[in-house]
Structure 1
């Protein structure tokens, strides 16, 4: 079960937002990620609890920030409820979308999980997917739908003392603005992405490769 810390900053201007302490691991349901973001002054800003099933669908999403909480899951597309922390002022919503995205680095792993293996089974082209996302934004945790295209650029294998480390690179294109960015993942850990820096990791990442006995459930 990897545990570690990410430094999180504004991907537009680099303003430091804080550090997220996280842990994640494959499990009976598929994969779970929990993280707590602490601001530069030490105050807790938000928390994330995300569970995916064996093929990457969100079966439980819970976010807390700014006196609000957000809960969602894959049901008739995506279904969610947003409410004040005391349970009042609840708003429900539904969208025909693939998965949730949000401020935590764990959501990058969740979106990539839906993309599956790196090559298109119909040929030797990189695997590409166009995904409708429901993005949840702090501090009010308001949801909005967005369209992104994810393209797997390739994998590199790096030797380590325990086992080879496979790093996957993705190009992510915001289809509303045309903005492009790159995301680098090793299993279920983000190594680099705009606004995300891995500061510490206490054990190797888990992998979704079914051929790896140390990993978690593999993609379909």
Structure 2
């Protein structure tokens, strides 16, 4: 079993995305409500590799990451410290990020988030070669998330005005979960968006280009 996990916010795809200046028209920023210039307080309830949190923070959001695996939490902490020392641009992004260790089901009610992002560990694909090595390592460490439904319940009752569930494009919905307000769909991933207490937003189905 592979258990050595390295997280890098400076090199690779994450750093490239920052240097290229990819903007708010991407699917994730749109899903959390950043398309019109808002900079919400987002809680990433399932931090994992931290890429989504780093992207949102690079676009101006304030992001609190929650990770319950001590191994993954430690890797995230090292990655944040390395990014902080990698130059002013990275330091500014990391300055909008906070990392907590614990179970999001317990912590969410203490944080008063505007937006909650939930990205549970999904079952492995049939063709394992399609899964990148780092994701296989992450799955080896954290396993699956059988309590994803309970986490969504906690997110929906946290007082957030928006909850976003990141989910494989063709996967069945979580059992018992109500229909989302709308979806934003990419090539392999969809974002089920649950809008809570906002007026003027109508349920819609979007299929933007990835």
TM range (shorter): 0.3 to 0.5
With structure 2 as the length reference, what TM-score do the two structures score? 0.32
- The structure that is strand-richer by fraction is 1
With structure 1 as the length reference, what TM-score do the two structures score? 0.31
- The structure that is helix-richer by fraction is 2
